[in-house]
Structures are given as C-alpha cells and as structure tokens.
C-alpha cells in the first residue's frame, strides 16, 4: 500500500493518505484578521478541500481535533461547527484551549477520515 | 467497510468504529464537582463503557490522549490511571495541560482501541 | 492481528504496533537541562529509535503531534525539525503550546507511522 502525501509545504503535508484513511495537518485560516466565526468557516472549508483532494469528505470524517486560542470562543466556534458537521455522520471530537503558532490564529483543526 | 457511530450527541459521537478500530471523543466527567481523582475515575469508566459498546476494552487500547486542567494534578490523575491501565497491555500515551471546555472539568481523555 | 507493545514503562508503552501501523507515546528528552534545540534533537532521535524498533522510520511517518512549552520556541524547534524531516516524505503535523509534564521539558512529540 502506498502512502500519498498532498500539498507538501516546507515542513509538512496538508494531508496524507494510507490504507483507505486520510489524515490532515492541523489547519489554520488564511486570513488571521478574521474573527472566530470567519476563521472557523475558513478552516473547515480547508478541511473540506483537503479531504476532497484525497477522495474523502465530511460525511466520512471519523475523528477531529480542535484547538482554540481562548475557551471564550468555544460557543462561536461550535455554532460554525454545528452548521458544518454532518448530523448523520458525526465524528468523535476533542477540543481544548491552546496557544497556536502564528499571531492572530484563533482556531486550528485536524481531521482523520475514511476514503469514500 | 462500514463506519459505525455510537451515542451521537448534538455535535459529535462518543465513539466511532471503522476497520476493526474504535476511536472515542475526548470524554469528560458527568460530575464537575468532583476532584481530579473522582473525575479521572469517572472518565475512565466512560472510556470503558464506550469501548465495550463498540466491542473493545482497555486490554485492546493502543493510544490515549489526556488533557488535564492543571499539571499540579498530574500525580493524582496518574494514581487513578495506574489502577486502571492493563499492566500487560499498555497503550502509548500523551498528557499535557490544557484549559478544557466546561467550567470545572479537570481532565479529558480520548482513546483509540482495537476491537476484540 | 497481534498488538505489539514496545518498551513498556510503569504506565504506558513507548510504541505500539498494530495492523502495519506504529504509534508512539508523546516522547520527551532525557536531559531537561538542554535548550529547545538540544531537546528537539534528542526527542526526534527517540522517535527514530522507537520507529526503528517497530520496523518503521521517518520516511514512513504519516502524522506528528508536537507540543512546545512556549510558542516563542517555535522557530528553533522548527529549525531542528527541518533538518530531520524527510523532504520527500512529509507527514501531516499539528503543533500547539502546552504546559508539559516534568519540570524543564520544552518539547514533546508523538508520531504515527507505517511499517516498512
């Protein structure tokens, strides 16, 4: 079985595929001036794009890790999550507060999914 | 292969099963008034219950992530862990301090296991 | 399929192997007096050793989680990472700040890899 690596930057891949599974990096927004709502939407759209490129989608996500810069943002992040997540195909999830790399980043999300 | 999702709440599943593996969410106590000892016992019993429902158990756990609200609680958390973990079947583990969602939560634990 | 557990200490294994995959614990340095550069080198050499023992190597790493004690150390940690990571075989990665167990520990790293 081959390991496929997608969108490798200077130090890590955006996604890796192996044995019917897709793993994404902890992804952050492209626009750090946005608020938690805008950033969460942007990051989840990046998750969607990374999964699509590797042959998966949010209906096949099995695990998600979320780090937010301030737990006060939990409710607003969840509001965007609730719009995004497939109600019939919920993953397991963990979300904790952590200081993130990159000034202005408010949320970082990593996903593990199954290929379609 | 089918993805099975257990005990889905409003935004995530308690456990997901795929390809002979079981993944749990980051689980927290049902009684946030308890101390770290009580909370760790409660969370590990929830891990046990989630694994059992998906056809696994602590002897088949391969990876555990633990987040504690204050590193000063590390020793007391570990005392409960040491009672719980199968000495002949230890998983890999990572434990760091993080602010958790939900006032009063002192410990959150997520596990990955193999089905029996 | 058998679960193999490597270098089990008093409460967790250094690595676990199952179904062609290798999972490591969050590993820390053996010399907490070292700076972030020395600690990152030491931890990555421990990752190398753990993977080798289980029949893998850094060319087969698919996912890495890094926790650093202070985000100010991000650049120095990355300089060591950049020397270590296989440019043709980059894993996905997430790195956040977190208080670590053990006074003086500046970096903790966990990896998931595929067997050679």
Which residues on chain C are in Cβ contact (under 8 Å) with B90? 5, 8-9, 11-13
Q: Which residues of A touch B94 (CB under 8 A)?
A: none
Q: Residue C63, Cβ neighbours under 10 Å: how many?
A: 22
| Cβ atoms of residues A69 and A96 within 8 Å | no
ipTM: 0.97
Asked if B34 contacts B15 with a C-beta cutoff of 8 angstroms, the reply is no
- Strands C61-68 and A13-18 turn out to be unpaired
Question: In which band, very low, low, confident or very high, does the pLDDT at A114 lie, cut at 50, 70 and 90?
Answer: very high
Min Cα distance A66 → chain B (Å) is 11
Contact B90, C13 (CB under 8 A): yes
Question: What predicted TM-score, i.e. pTM, was given to this entire model?
Answer: 0.98
Here the tokens at position A27 are 């992804």
**Cβ distance of C5 and B90 shorter than 8 Å:** yes
Look at residue A12 and tell me whether its pLDDT is greater than 90: yes
Please report the pLDDT score of residue A62 as a whole number: 98
Q: Are C98 and C69 in contact (CB under 8 A)?
A: yes
What are φ and ψ of residue B73, in 5° steps?
A: -90, 0
Which pLDDT value is given to residue A30?
97
Tokens 């999300």 — which residue? A109
At A34 the pLDDT is 98
pLDDT per residue as tens digits for the range A1-10: 899 999 999 9
DSSP β-bridge partners for residue A108: A67
Size of interface B-C (CB pairs under 8 A): 70
* Residue B29, helix vs strand vs coil: coil
Pairwise CA distance, residues A48 & A57, whole Å = 6
* Measured distance CA(B92)–CA(A30) in Å, rounded: 34
∠ Cα B14 C96 A69 (to 5°): 75
Q: What is the pLDDT of residues A68-99, one digit of tens each?
A: 999 999 999 999 999 999 999 999 999 999 99
pLDDT digits (tens, 9 = 90+) for B30-83: 999 999 999 999 999 999 999 999 999 999 999 999 999 999 999 999 999 999
User: Are A91 and B12 an interchain contact pair (Cβ–Cβ within 8 Å)?
Assistant: yes
- Whole-number pLDDT of residue C1: 85
* Residue B82 distance to chain A (closest CA, Å): 23
If chain C, 116 residues long, is cut into consecutive pieces of 10 residues, what is the mean pLDDT of each piece? 95 98 98 98 98 98 98 98 98 98 97 98
């Amino acid at each position: 079985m081959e390991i496929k690596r997608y969108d490798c930057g200077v130090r890590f891949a955006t996604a890796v595929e192996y044995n019917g599974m897709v793993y994404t990096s902890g992804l952050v927004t492209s626009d750090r001036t946005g608020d938690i709502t805008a950033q969460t939407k942007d990051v989840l759209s990046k998750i969607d794009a990374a999964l699509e490129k590797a042959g998966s989608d949010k209906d096949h996500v099995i695990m998600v890790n979320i780090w937010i810069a301030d737990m006060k943002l939990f409710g607003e992040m969840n509001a965007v999550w609730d719009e995004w997540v497939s109600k019939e195909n919920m993953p397991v999830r963990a979300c904790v507060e952590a200081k993130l790399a990159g000034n202005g980043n408010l949320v970082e999300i990593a996903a593990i999914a199954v290929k379609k």
